[in-house]
Structure 1
Amino acid sequence: MAKSHSKAGSLKSVFALLLLFGPALILIFISTRGCEHKFKELDDYGVIPAFSFTNSKGKVFTNQTFKNKIVIYTTIQASCPDSCGVSIWHLDQLIYQRLRENRKKLGHVKLVSILTDENGNPDTDGKHLQDVEFMLKDRVEGYDPTIWMIVAGDAKAIYNIQHNGQSLLQKDKKYFGGNSFQELMLLADKSNHLRMVLPGKTESTIRTMRDHMALLEKEYDIKAYKLKKQKSAKED
């Protein structure tokens, strides 16, 4: 019975995001011959709010830190992996391992998890940061903190985004800890613009985020190809 309630809650969360980010979740991808694939680019929801996070070694991360990086942001709790806002196992298997195994090609893609308590409040205790890192080292194959960063700070600052008259900072008991943002993954492009939001509670939505990350990669590949083509044409 508890499992049924959990699935129902996840479906409600997905439905809420469909209303919030509507068309962006319905992606039409049409492949054609050659390098220039025709496809619908991810929508641009504007600049992600300014933030300042710190890791267990005291290093500070801000918007500028991730300039020219593609970043997936999530929350993480000291109670993980037993009780988490997102599915840590699927995040590991579907996204982190892809980044780790393709670090040469995808070295500019980072996974950043912001530590909160179960109610979504900032967890500034350095010991908890170390505890979470230890948990990931123990459970995640080849855990590399330069790829998957665990940081502390006010997660609400980065999730303080509105679209279509709705906010990502919704409160309802159906969400983990009563806060919708704790269940959400954000995809930011190299200019720190929000390009996709999806719940991170299920395998299917995390897999979809991985696919959207790949689509964003393709967008940059096509732009680079076109630029190279134009440069070559001028030289000729």
Structure 2
Amino acid sequence: MSEIFDFFKEYYFLFLFAIISFIAILLVSKFYRIKFFYLFFGYLGLIFLSTMIIFLVNFFFKYEKLMEIGSAPSFSLTNQDGKTISNEDLKGKVHVVEFFFSTCPTICPIMNQNMLKIEKEFLNHDDFGIVSITINPDYDTSEVLKKHAEHLGVQHKNWHFLTGEQSYIYEIANKGFNLYAAENNKAKGGFEHSGFFALIDKNGNIRCRKDDFGNPILYYDGLEEPGVNAIKEDIKLLLEE
């Protein structure tokens, strides 16, 4: 039902144009004594042509190849099962990267729920994965992350919750991905971090959309529905590459 609503919301102008045009041909037919039959078929042709142009333009821009920013940073960390996971283990898999911590009281619960939506969408894809890196590794040990994953109800075998040395993780976040992460005693939970998701293709490259001026929109908003829907669409594109 939401898909139908989104369709009408996106193309409301087309429906408005159709209604106004129909009213116009009724008036023209009445006042200029032109047969309604001829006007109606001309009207249908105009609507068909307009619809085709709009859909073709939309198709071209929607499925335009995503920008390739460069290689994602290398890393080697420990997952919730105590196994060492590196970026090399994710080669051949489209994957999403986020930074979080298990005791986060602010944005993490929202990010968790949105990431679960992404997981559900691609649950049966072995060539897809998720990487959730804690920014509080002193507390978030493998055992803690294991319980956290179970609490969330994680099902995908390629969803890795990673921990390691804190300074190393912060370097990956702040310098590697340019996604903010820091310890802050004044922040709720004692830490603060970005709410964005990074999208990585099968070759280990960061991929993203671009704005109307051709500039890269580096990451996807993990807190809002439009960002989550966008990354799901783009994951599908990358899985087909």
User: What TM-score, normalized by structure 2, do the two folds share?
Assistant: 0.58
Partner of 2:169: 155
Of 69, 86, 98, 2:121 maps to 98
Call closer, same or farther: CA 1:191–1:65 in 2, change over 3 Å.
same
Matches within 5 A, 1:1-236: 30-31=58-59, 39-80=63-104, 82-85=105-108, 87-92=111-116, 94-100=117-123, 103=124, 106-117=125-136, 123-125=137-139, 128-140=141-153, 143-144=154-155, 146-153=157-164, 154-159=168-173, 160-161=175-176, 167-169=178-180, 179-180=192-193, 182-196=194-208, 197-218=219-240, 220=241
Paired residues in the alignment total 169
Whole-Å Cα distance in 2 between the matches of residues 75 and 170 of structure 1?
8
CA displacement 1:111-170 (0-9 Å, x = unmatched): 1101122xxxxx0456x4322332332332xx23623111113433433247xxxx4448
How big is the shift at 1:195?
0.4
Change in 2 beyond 3 A, CA 1:138/1:189: same
Q: Please tell me whether the aligned partners of residues 29 and 39 of structure 1 are also in contact (alpha carbons under 8 angstroms).
A: no
Between 1:59-68 and 1:198-207, the stretch displaced more is 198-207
In structure 1, what residue type is equivalent to 2:59?
S
In structure 2, C-alpha distance between the alignment counterparts of 1:192 and 1:203, rounded to whole Å: 26
8 Å contact kept, 2:78–2:162? yes
Aligned-pair distance for 1:64? 1.2
Distance in 1, matches of 2:187 and 2:221, equals 13
Whether the 8 Å CA contact 2:170–2:181 is kept in 1: the answer is no
Q: What letter corresponds to residue 96 of structure 1 in structure 2?
A: E
Q: Which has the larger radius of gyration?
A: 2
Greater share of residues in helix: 2
Amino acid at match of 1:155: I
Higher relative contact order (CA 8 A, sep 6+): 1
In 2, Cα distance between equivalents of 1:38 and 1:199: 18
Stretches (4+) displaced over 4 A: 170-180
Closer/same/farther in 2, CA of residues 217 and 146 from structure 1, 3 Å limit: same
Gap runs ≥5 in structure 1: 1-27, 118-122, 221-236
Q: CA deviation at 1:217?
A: 2.2
Between stretches 55-64 and 151-160, larger displacement belongs to 151-160
Rounded Cα–Cα distance in structure 1 between residues aligned with 2:103 and 2:57:
38
- Measured against aligned partners, the alpha-carbon deviations of 1:93-113 in whole angstroms (never above 9, x if no partner) come to x2011122xx1xx21100110
Aligned partner of residue 136 in structure 1, secondary structure: helix
CA distance in 2, matches of 1:73, 1:188: 8
Helix, strand or coil: the match of 2:96?
strand
Tell me: CA distance 1:203–1:98, structure 2 relative to 1, closer, same or farther (3 Å): same
Structure 1 residues 44, 201: closer, same or farther in 2, change over 3 A?
Answer: same
Contact residue 82 and residue 142 of structure 2 kept, 8 A: no
Shift of 1:175: 11
Q: CA deviation at 1:44?
A: 0.5
